[in-house]
Amino acid sequence: MSHDKRIAVTLPAGPKLEHTAGLIEWAESVGITDGWFSDAGAPDSLTSIAALAHRIKSLRIGVAVTPVYTRTPAVLAATAEVISQVLPGRFVLGLGSSSQTIMGQWNGIPLDKPLTRVRETATMVRSMLTGAKSDFDLETLYSKGYRQAPCENPPPIYLAALRSKMIEAAAEVGDGVIFNLWPKGALPRMMEHVKLGAERGGKSLEDVEIVNRAMVLVTDDKAMGRDIFRAAFGPYYATPVYNAFLAWAGYEDAAAQIREGWAAKDREKTAAAMSDEMVDEIAIIGTADEVRERIRSDAAGGVHTSIIAPLAGDPESAMRTFEAFTPENFRFD
């Protein structure tokens, strides 16, 4: 099965539901096909989707991603079943392990055995959505005797992944793989692991949709854009999971310097570790024509759905970035 190339707006659009509703209505009015929620904290993504569903007329809505530690499989299955009723055939449940900061520091939950926890959660949720009575005594999860009504339109389950083992597991047990914050030179290697995992799950590479959250800024001031990226994502790459990914992707020295700078509470050293070349490998910063060409390049490399996540937080910059990817202004071919 092949997948269409798609552009998505990133959601939520702000702390208020009305902000997000406005962006959804704009995206639908210009012909954008997808909206994908992040789920790091407030506002909560799954309750936002349920609250706004009556105002979503055509968008496919995804979550990239709901952490598997903060909701049990039974809660996830129950929530997904309700959302699938109000968005039949237009909801994608994205699951992932999240990060040490979000789990450990924000929620007080140890990030234990993330690979196993993600696999087991996906397996259990998929089973529960069929209406089967739960009978699981797994390495990280347990559930006996839970049953809910079968889901008439079960959502596909996509899994977030960074490095080889998680990418392969995501392609094996998930319907899609969600990428984030990768250097463009790492994409061929990542796609090789998608292929290996898909084949292990009895699928082909073409059966697995690849979704990517792209950090994009339309601007003539690339230096300013790079500084925004450094300030926003230096802390990300200091966390163990993203630091290890950066090293895996070929930036071992930068990963070590970021780790050392963050441990010393030296933000200048942390930012300095992120060279212009490295930032340009990860972020998509430039004129409208330049950022569109990079999204086309990602699509040619295997990405099906590009979630456009504007780097700048001000509404004017965000809309300028989104507008570069309306069907009127952008085509993949």
What pLDDT digit, counting tens, does each position of 262-275 carry? 999 988 889 899 99
Q: Does the structure show a pLDDT above 80 at 1?
A: no
Beta strands in the chain (DSSP E): 6-11, 34-37, 60-63, 66-67, 91-96, 135-137, 142-144, 157-160, 176-180, 209-218, 284-286, 305-310
pLDDT of the residue at 110: 83
The stretches of 3-144 forming alpha helices (DSSP H) are 17-30, 45-52, 73-86, 100, 107, 114-129
Distance CA(98)–CA(192), nearest Å, equals: 23
pLDDT of the residue at 18: 96
Q: What is the DSSP letter of 54?
A: G
pLDDT tens digits, residue range 158-185? 999 999 999 999 999 999 999 999 999 9
Are residues 212 and 194 in contact, defined by beta-carbon separation less than 8 angstroms? no
pLDDT tens digits, residue range 206-217? 999 999 999 999
Q: Distances in Å between the alpha carbon of 275 and those of 280, 297, 323?
A: 9, 22, 28
- Positive/negative CA dihedral, 238, 242, 246, 248: positive
| Mean pLDDT confidence for 178-199 | 97
The stretches of 32-163 forming alpha helices (DSSP H) are 45-52, 73-86, 100, 107, 114-129
Distance of CA 175 to the CA centre of its chain: 14
Sole residue written with tokens 């992944």: 161
Q: What 3-state DSSP class applies to 225?
A: helix
Q: What is the DSSP letter of 105?
A: I
Q: pLDDT band for 195, please (50, 70, 90 cuts).
A: very high
Distance CA(106)–CA(104), nearest Å, equals: 6
Q: Which of 51-55, 91-95, 100-104, 140-144 has the lowest mean pLDDT?
A: 100-104
- In this structure, the dihedral spanned by the alpha carbons of residues 34, 40, 43 and 49, taken in order and rounded to 10 degrees, is 30
Distance CA(309)–CA(65), nearest Å, equals: 14
Q: What is the DSSP letter of 213?
A: E
Q: Which two tokens stand for residue 142?
A: 């347990």
Neighbouring CB atoms inside 10 A of 256's CB total 14
Q: Rounded to a whole number, what is the largest CA-CA distance in the chain?
A: 59
Q: Which two tokens stand for residue 34?
A: 């997808």
pLDDT of the residue at 141: 98
pLDDT tens digits, residue range 315-327? 999 999 999 999 9
Domains and their CATH numbers in the chain: 6-215+287-323 (3.20.20.30), 220-286 (no CATH)
Q: Does the structure show a pLDDT above 80 at 100?
A: no
pLDDT of the residue at 302: 97
Q: What 3-state DSSP class applies to 267?
A: helix
pLDDT of the residue at 211: 98
pLDDT tens digits, residue range 222-248? 999 999 999 999 988 999 999 999 999
pLDDT of the residue at 321: 97
pLDDT of the residue at 236: 87
Q: What 3-state DSSP class applies to 288?
A: helix
| Mean pLDDT confidence for 142-154 | 97
Are residues 230 and 195 in contact, defined by beta-carbon separation less than 8 angstroms? no
Selection from 312, 244, 310, 237 nearest residue 278 by Cα: 237
Q: pLDDT band for 17, please (50, 70, 90 cuts).
A: very high
| Mean pLDDT confidence for 119-143 | 98
Average pLDDT of the chain, as a whole number: 95
pLDDT above 70: percentage of residues in the chain: 99
Q: What 3-state DSSP class applies to 94?
A: strand
